[in-house]
A and B are shown apart, each in its own frame.
Chain A
Amino acid sequence: MDSIIQIQNLTKSYGNNLVLKGIDLDVQSGQIIGYIGPNGAGKSTTIKILTGLLTEYGGSAKIAGLEVSQHPLEIKQMLGYVPENAVMYDTLSPAEYFRFLGSLYGLDRRDTEQKGGELLRIFGLYDNRNSRMTSFSKGMKQKVLLISGMIHNPQIIFLDEPLSGLDANSVILLKEILQRLSQTGKTLFYSSHIMEVVEKICDRIVLLKEGVVIAHGTFQELQKQQHSGTLEQLFNQLTGNNEHLALADEFVQILSE
Chain B
Amino acid sequence: MNRLILGLLDLFGPLFRRMGVDYPQLRAILDVKLTMDNRRSRTGFNGQETKNSNWGFVWTLVITFAMSSFIALLVYFWPAHAQAYAVVTAYGMIIVTMILITDFSQVILDGSDGLIILTRPVTSKTLFTSRIVHAAVYLLQLALAVALPSFFATLLKFGLGAGLIFLISSLLVSILSVLFTTVLYLLIMRFSSVERMQNIINGLQIIVVILVTVGYQFIGRLIDFEDFANTKALSVAWWHYLAPPMWVGHVMSATIGGYFGVPTLLFAALLVVVPILAVRSMSGGLVRSFGNQVGNLDAVDTKKKEEVEVGPKRSVPELLSGVFTRTATERAAFELVWKIGSRDRKFKLRVYPSMAYFLIIGPLMFFNRPGETLTQMMEATAQSEYLRILLIYVSALTMVAVNQNLPFSDQFKAAWVYHVVPMPRPGEFLSGMMWSVVAKFILPIYLVVALVVTFVWGVDSLDDVILGALVVLVFQQTEILATRSVLPFSREFTKSGSGKFIRVLALSIFVGIFGWAHWALSQTSYVILVMVPFAFFLVLFLNREIRKLGWDKVEV
C-alpha spacing A103/B325, complex, angstroms: 12
Contact A130 B311 (CB under 8 A): yes
Contact A53 B332 (CB under 8 A): no
Q: Which of A74, A95, A99, A109 contacts B422 (CB 8 A)?
A: A74
Contact B310 A88 (CB under 8 A): no
Interface residues of A in 74-101 (CB under 8 A from B): 74-77, 79, 81, 83, 86-93, 95-96, 99-101
Contact A86 B416 (CB under 8 A): yes
C-alpha spacing A104/B423, complex, angstroms: 7
B344 within 8 A of A: yes
Contact B302 A72 (CB under 8 A): no
Interface residues of B in 305-348 (CB under 8 A from A): 305-312, 318, 328-329, 331-332, 335-336, 339-340, 343-344
Smallest Cβ-Cβ distance to B317: which chain A residue: A96
- Bitwise, B393-423 to A at CB < 8 A (1) or not (0) is 0000000000000000101011011011111
C-alpha spacing A136/B195, complex, angstroms: 12
B115 within 8 A of A: no
Contact A87 B302 (CB under 8 A): no
C-alpha spacing A42/B418, complex, angstroms: 23
B489 within 8 A of A: yes
Q: Which of A73, A100, A101, A136 contacts B424 (CB 8 A)?
A: A73
Given contacts A73-B424, A76-B420, A130-B311, A109 and B328 within 8 Å (CB-CB): yes
Contact A106 B328 (CB under 8 A): yes
Q: B264 to chain A: closest CB distance in Å? A: 52
Contact B420 A79 (CB under 8 A): yes
Given contacts A76-B422, A91-B340, A91-B344, A103 and B416 within 8 Å (CB-CB): no
Contact B332 A81 (CB under 8 A): no
Contact B411 A89 (CB under 8 A): yes
Q: Which of B310, B417, B419, B424 contacts A131 (CB 8 A)?
A: B310
Contact A53 B305 (CB under 8 A): no
Contact B332 A100 (CB under 8 A): yes
C-alpha spacing A101/B423, complex, angstroms: 11
B300 within 8 A of A: yes
Interface residues of A in 127-172 (CB under 8 A from B): 128, 130-132, 134-137, 140, 148
Given contacts A76-B421, A89-B489, A105-B422, A135 and B308 within 8 Å (CB-CB): yes
Contact B310 A93 (CB under 8 A): yes
Interface residues of A in 102-139 (CB under 8 A from B): 102-106, 109, 128, 130-132, 134-137
Given contacts A103-B328, A103-B331, A90 and B411 within 8 Å (CB-CB): yes
Complex interface: chain A residues within 8 A of B417 (CB): 88, 101, 104, 148
Smallest Cβ-Cβ distance to A72: which chain B residue: B422
Interface residues on B, range: 35 or more
Q: B308 to chain A: closest CB distance in Å? A: 5
A52 within 8 A of B: yes
Contact A91 B339 (CB under 8 A): yes
Q: B204 to chain A: closest CB distance in Å? A: 19
Q: Which of B311, B318, B420 contacts A53 (CB 8 A)?
A: B420
Q: B417 to chain A: closest CB distance in Å? A: 7
Contact A131 B420 (CB under 8 A): no
Complex interface: chain B residues within 8 A of A128 (CB): 307
C-alpha spacing A51/B421, complex, angstroms: 9
C-alpha spacing A92/B318, complex, angstroms: 13
C-alpha spacing A77/B422, complex, angstroms: 6
C-alpha spacing A146/B339, complex, angstroms: 23
C-alpha spacing A99/B417, complex, angstroms: 13
Q: Which of A87, A88, A100 contacts B335 (CB 8 A)?
A: A100
Contact A100 B422 (CB under 8 A): no
C-alpha spacing A53/B417, complex, angstroms: 10
Contact A132 B310 (CB under 8 A): yes
Q: A71 to chain B: closest CB distance in Å? A: 10
C-alpha spacing A87/B413, complex, angstroms: 6
Q: By CB atoms of chain A within 10 A, which of B306, B344, B413 has the most?
A: B413
Contact B305 A88 (CB under 8 A): no
Complex interface: chain B residues within 8 A of A102 (CB): 328
C-alpha spacing A101/B414, complex, angstroms: 12
Smallest Cβ-Cβ distance to A81: which chain B residue: B420
C-alpha spacing A91/B336, complex, angstroms: 10
Complex interface: chain A residues within 8 A of B339 (CB): 91-92, 96
Complex interface: chain B residues within 8 A of A92 (CB): 336, 339-340, 343
Complex interface: chain A residues within 8 A of B328 (CB): 102-104, 106, 109
Smallest Cβ-Cβ distance to A93: which chain B residue: B310
Q: By CB atoms of chain B within 10 A, which of A90, A99, A103, A140 has the most?
A: A103
C-alpha spacing A83/B305, complex, angstroms: 27
Q: Which of A86, A89, A136, A140 contacts B336 (CB 8 A)?
A: A89
Contact B411 A132 (CB under 8 A): no
Complex interface: chain A residues within 8 A of B335 (CB): 96, 99-100, 103
Contact B308 A132 (CB under 8 A): yes
C-alpha spacing A104/B416, complex, angstroms: 13
C-alpha spacing A7/B344, complex, angstroms: 42
Complex interface: chain A residues within 8 A of B411 (CB): 87-91
Complex interface: chain B residues within 8 A of A135 (CB): 195, 302, 305-308
C-alpha spacing A130/B309, complex, angstroms: 6
Given contacts A77-B422, A103-B332, A105-B422, A89 and B340 within 8 Å (CB-CB): yes
Contact A53 B308 (CB under 8 A): no
Contact A51 B307 (CB under 8 A): no
Q: A92 to chain B: closest CB distance in Å? A: 6
Interface residues of A in 30-81 (CB under 8 A from B): 51-53, 72-77, 79, 81
C-alpha spacing A75/B328, complex, angstroms: 19
Complex interface: chain B residues within 8 A of A96 (CB): 310, 335, 339
Q: A153 to chain B: closest CB distance in Å? A: 14
C-alpha spacing A79/B420, complex, angstroms: 8
Q: A239 to chain B: closest CB distance in Å? A: 28
Complex interface: chain A residues within 8 A of B332 (CB): 100-101, 103-104
Q: A168 to chain B: closest CB distance in Å? A: 18
C-alpha spacing A91/B421, complex, angstroms: 20
Contact A132 B423 (CB under 8 A): no
C-alpha spacing A96/B338, complex, angstroms: 12
C-alpha spacing A137/B304, complex, angstroms: 12
Given contacts A87-B414, A103-B331, A51 and B420 within 8 Å (CB-CB): yes
Q: Which of A75, A79, A90, A131 contacts B307 (CB 8 A)?
A: A131
Complex interface: chain A residues within 8 A of B414 (CB): 86-90
Q: Which of A's residues lie within 8 Å of B, judged by CB?
A: 51-53, 72-77, 79, 81, 83, 86-93, 95-96, 99-106, 109, 128, 130-132, 134-137, 140, 148
Q: Would you list 7 pairs from A and B whose C-beta atoms are within 8 A, ordered by A residue?
A: A53-B416, A76-B420, A86-B416, A93-B310, A104-B417, A130-B310, A131-B308
**Told that A73-B422, A137-B302 touch, could you supply 9 new A-B pairs with CB distance under 8 A?**
A52-B420, A91-B343, A103-B331, A104-B417, A104-B422, A109-B331, A128-B307, A131-B308, A132-B308
4 closest A-B pairs by beta carbon, nearest first, are A103-B332, A131-B307, A91-B343, A76-B422
Q: Which of B's residues lie within 8 Å of A, judged by CB?
A: 195, 300, 302, 305-312, 318, 328-329, 331-332, 335-336, 339-340, 343-344, 409, 411, 413-414, 416-417, 419-424, 489
